Amino acid sequence: MSKAAQADRKMWSKIYTYDEWMEAQGVPIYRGYYIEDLRTLELEWWEARQCKAAFIQLLGQEGVTSARVTEIPPGKTVSPLKFSLDEIVYVVEGRGLTTIWAGENRPKKTFEWQKHSMFLLPHNYTHQFSNMQGDKPARLLHYNYMPLTLSGVRDVNFIFGNPYEGPDIQNQLDFYSEAKMVQQSLLDDSWGRRAYWYGNFFPDMRAWDKLDSNARRGAGGRSVYIQFPDSEMSCHMSVFDARLYKKAHRHGPGRVIVIPVGEGYSIMWEEGKEKVVVPWHEASCFVPPNKWFHQHFNAGSEPARYLALHPPMQFHGHAEKVEDRAKDQIEYVNEDKWVREKFEAELAKRGITSLMPPEAYVDPEFEWNWSPFLRKSS
């Protein structure tokens, strides 16, 4: 970054150090409310990384989280990169290998991935990607907290190629092995989630079937919550069935949502303001802005999944008290009638009808009949 750029920085500026670095990379930056399809997103050559890439900075990410798409050419291996931060990688398309190592004199670890795999690149490690397919490129979605880090240190050399060598955590756990379920008492979690999965490699988020009911959000939903080892990064994936929709809710900024499977749409709005409709299908991506209500609708014929990559805990934006938390969710009985009317109209376009129980719209104490929806196929 030039001295002139540093001198021109204004107090209360919403142009962050990360933005200046991102703009200088010479690749596309996609803004707005959503990305229709990460598989077909137009990329351009990123000279610094010797691959095609694009940055994603949707409304609600600014200054908090970073997302980008990179493409590995058929049969190629990209240059190694040492990165000081944890980074979640979701495989949008393709099949390949990742090799990681924590120093020249330490052993390397190589693991395979495929479409819909998700894994963590640990901080202070060097990593390298290889495309195992010789006839088509591979696409990866990367997610990290780089904007916050650069706001603190304002030096990209702190993040890329930093000579600091941290502990070799490969010796502390069976790296990239099967994730483990961690049980917890309800007393430890007022949200009612009794288990989460702990690991840094998930082979196929489209097929992941270790789910727990998520009754609070409605629509017969099931979820898996994931914590990555030696990291504050986390995520969750929710699954809900065809011709149903979930309750509107809101939280903090920076949460990037990608669709592994399904067809539908989401509605997002700032309280008291106009609603934004976000259509989605496999490989769509969107970000609910800070404290905007948003609501997910499955307008297809099969269970839909959305994978939400979480910002730091400081930005989750969940109320601590139950009475306050109720203000961040809209029950079916209290929602705008337009919501239901639009859903029924969208289904009618496809020649199908809603499976939402009529009781849900009149009884605030309505409890979902889970059994018809807990299908093995989900």
Are 349 and 250 in a shared domain?
yes
Are 211 and 117 in a shared domain?
no
Q: Could you tell me if 74 and 133 are in contact, meaning their C-beta atoms sit under 8 angstroms apart? A: yes
Are 268 and 313 in a shared domain?
yes
Q: Look up the pTM and report it.
A: 0.91
| Largest Cα–Cα separation, the chain | 66
Are 200 and 328 in a shared domain?
yes
pLDDT (tens, 9 = 90+) of the chain, 378 residues, equals 444 445 466 666 778 999 999 999 999 999 999 999 999 999 999 999 999 999 999 999 999 999 999 999 999 999 999 999 999 999 999 999 999 998 877 888 999 999 999 999 999 999 999 999 999 999 999 999 999 999 999 999 999 989 998 777 665 556 777 788 887 655 444 455 567 899 999 999 999 999 988 877 888 889 999 999 989 999 999 999 999 999 999 999 999 999 999 999 999 999 999 999 999 999 999 999 999 999 999 999 999 999 999 999 998 876 555 556 678 999 999 999 999 999 999 999 999 999 999 999 999 888 776 544 443 333
Predicted pLDDT at 12: 65
Are 147 and 221 in a shared domain?
no
Whole-angstrom Cα distance, residue 43 to residue 162? 28
Whole-angstrom Cα distance, residue 342 to residue 365? 24
CB neighbour class for 328 (10 Å; exposed up to 12, middle 13-18, buried from 19): middle
Are 68 and 149 in a shared domain?
yes
- Tokens 């137009």 belong to which residue? 42
Predicted pLDDT at 309: 98
- How far does the chain reach from its first CA to its final CA, in angstroms? 48
**CATH number, position 218:** 2.60.120.10
Predicted pLDDT at 4: 43
Could you tell me if residue 16 is inside a domain?
no
Q: Could you tell me if 276 and 269 are in contact, meaning their C-beta atoms sit under 8 angstroms apart? A: yes
91 lies in which domain range? 26-155
Could you tell me if residue 88 is inside a domain?
yes
Predicted pLDDT at 374: 41
Could you tell me if residue 7 is inside a domain?
no
Q: How many domains does the chain have?
A: 2
Are 44 and 104 in a shared domain?
yes
Are 325 and 197 in a shared domain?
yes
Could you tell me if residue 145 is inside a domain?
yes
Whole-angstrom Cα distance, residue 137 to residue 74? 5
Are 37 and 132 in a shared domain?
yes
